[in-house]
Amino acid sequence: MFNVMRFWYKRGVAGFRLDAVDSLFEDPNFTDNPFAAGTDAFGRRNMDEKYNQKLPEVHGVLRGLRKVADEYHAVLIGETYTSSIDELKHYYGDHSSELQLPMDMMFATVDKLSPGEFRKQIASVNASGGWPVFLIGNHDMARSNNRYGDGIHDDAIAKLMAALYLSLRGSPILYYGEEIGMQNNDPKSKEEVRDPQGKIGWPTEKGRDGERTPMQWTAGVNGGFSKGKPWLPVPPSSATHNVETESTDPDSILNFYKRLLFLRHHEKALLDGEYIPLDESNPNVLSFLRRSPGETVLVVLNMSGTDQEVVFDLAPYGLAAAKRAMLLTSGRAASHRGVINLDPYSAYFEKLTN
């Protein structure tokens, strides 16, 4: 396995995403897992997967993979499902000897717009000692637009979530289609199901087809993905949420992502600055500073369905007399003499300089 990786590194591969690393080993005696309380989506008794998940041998292999990666200055991304920060720390390894980028899947389990819950997750992963990896969706969970959207303000909420995970200290992982607001297109009958999980568990478990439909490129047939019949169907929403249509709309989700990514790459504080939480008792607005030497960016996110007004005491951070310049906003968020007014589900970015 190590030589296979060397083969590809020598040909210019910059790194690997390691799928389901938790499952790399199982008990050599094939010992049965003990049953736990309750049942899963298939109606089967739950199990404590102590004999086929997260075995100690996993970390020995990861250390070996890291040594090979370091030979070529390559990166390892891990699909790591953990239930605590202590578990996540193990995947970084002692003295950063395993994965550089283990995914913080716990962040994606906050399935509601809750500043308090996101604060807890951000604080925990920042305390882990490693470089955070944030994501809000992947191929195994309902799309973020379904989980966070309310059916009315979906586009605004999509921009809000983009502003969150693309402005935090760490590396964001973007699942295809988030940048245009793609939503699940779940099967309507068992006959439509392709995913084995859905075939076994229908109708309680519909499977993962809904979040894996083709990328929506145009408003044309099959979202411009193919002139043939795709493996999974494209939803009617592709008529409005597609790359071609959104590229020409300055207020689209796609163009907000583009502006946000540009900002991230041109403001050093957003790229690698420290994270400083603000106004931590606010139940509606998540706010923080990203600060690097000589540069500070204020990020304010209204996670509520009502207008919000916030003001911050920045004197403790040496910014009482700082010049303020708006960098980016969604909705009609604006600042006047330090008072920031935010529309429902809006984001606001401001640069502070002394």
Per-residue pLDDT of 11-62, as tens digits, reads 999 999 999 999 999 999 999 999 999 998 888 899 999 999 999 999 999 9
CA-wise closest residue to 334 among 313, 312, 353, 309: 309
Distances (CA, A) of 210 to 67, 232, 303: 38, 8, 26
Catalytic residue check, 71: yes
CA distance 44 to 62: 32
Over residues 315-344, the mean pLDDT reads 93
Catalytic residue check, 246: no
The one-character DSSP state at 233 is P
Domain 273-353 class, CATH top level: mainly beta
Alpha helices, DSSP H only, in 166-291? 196-201, 243-247, 253-266, 268-272
SS3 assignment, position 155: helix
> What pLDDT score does 314 carry?
95
Over residues 295-309, the mean pLDDT reads 97
CA-wise closest residue to 170 among 273, 83, 90, 258: 273
Spell out the domain ranges in the chain.
2-256, 273-353
> What pLDDT score does 332 carry?
86
> Per the structure block, which two tokens stand in for 328?
């980016």
> What pLDDT score does 337 carry?
84
Choosing from 19, 57, 249, 309, which is the catalytic residue? 19
| pLDDT digit string, tens, across residues 185-220 | 999 999 999 999 999 999 989 999 999 999 999 999
SS3 assignment, position 68: helix
> Per the structure block, which two tokens stand in for 86?
């202590």
| Residues 317, 320, 325, 331, Cα dihedral to 10° | 80
Quickly list DSSP for 293-348.
TTEEEEEEEE-SSS-EEEE---GGGT-TT-EEEEEEESTT-EEETTEEEE-TT-EE
Choosing from 70, 71, 251, 272, which is the catalytic residue? 71
CB atoms closer than 10 angstroms to residue 103:
26
CA distance 321 to 27: 62
Over residues 239-249, the mean pLDDT reads 98
Question: For the domain 2-256, what is the CATH code?
Answer: 3.20.20.80
Work out the burial of residue 257: count CB atoms within 10 Å of its CB; fewer than 13 is exposed, 13-18 middle, 19 or more buried: buried
Q: Is the pLDDT of residue 128 over 90?
A: no
